[in-house]
């Protein structure tokens, strides 16, 4: 059974960098059948697709976040990571990592989510 687990600081100061890691077990991030995705949800609001990483390290970003965003993968640890720079209170959200099926573009497995609060 595939499992995804987010980890990282729950509190980040404004203007600093938000860094999260997703550890995948029960499946390989090296598979060409899936994208590995970050999605966020501000408190009381809807879901926002942040970006993804695909086989071979190709990355795809939400245009609204692209200038501040880096997604990377570590196949040796079966992890992928998110870095979002120059954060503000608007970046406060529950951050989810998920698996997206390549041919169907649906998100079939999700992590439990981790709340990141941007505050001084």
Partner 1 sequence: QSALTQPASVSGSPGQSITISCTGTSSDVGSYNLVSWYQQHPGKAPKLMISEVSKRPSGVSNRFSGSKSGNTASLTISGLQPEDEADYYCSSYAGSSTSLFGGGTKLTVL
Q: Compose the 58-87 pattern: x for residues touching partner 1 by CB under 8 A, - for all others.
A: --x-xxx-----------------------
List the one residue from 7, 27, 42, 49 that touches partner 1 (CB under 8 A).
Answer: 49
Neighbouring-strand partners of residue 41? 94
- State the nearest-atom distance from the C-beta of 101 to partner 1, in Å: 8
Pick the stretch among 8-16, 25-33, 56-64, 72-80 that binds partner 1 (CB under 8 A): 56-64
DSSP state of 2: -
> Contacts with partner 1 in 7-46 (CB under 8 A)?
35, 37, 39, 45-46
Cβ-contact 53, 98 below 8 angstroms: no
> Three-state DSSP class for 55?
helix
Token pair 């954060």 is at which residue? 87
Strand order in the sheet with 3-7: 3-7, 18-25, 79-84, 69-74
Contact residues for partner 1, defined by CB under 8 A: 35, 37, 39, 45-49, 52, 54, 60, 62-64, 96, 100-101, 104-108, 110-113
């Amino acid at each position: 059974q595939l499992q995804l687990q987010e980890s990282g600081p729950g509190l980040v100061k404004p203007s600093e960098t938000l860094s999260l890691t997703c550890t995948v077990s029960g499946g390989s991030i090296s598979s060409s059948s899936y994208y590995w995705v970050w999605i966020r949800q501000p408190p009381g609001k809807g879901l926002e697709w942040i970006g993804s990483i695909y086989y071979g390290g190709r990355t795809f970003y939400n245009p609204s976040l692209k200038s501040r965003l880096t997604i990377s993968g570590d196949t040796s640890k079966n992890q992928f990571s998110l870095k979002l720079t120059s954060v503000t209170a608007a970046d406060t959200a529950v951050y989810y990592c998920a698996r997206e099926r390549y041919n169907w573009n649906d998100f079939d497995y999700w992590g439990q989510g981790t709340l990141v609060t941007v505050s001084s």
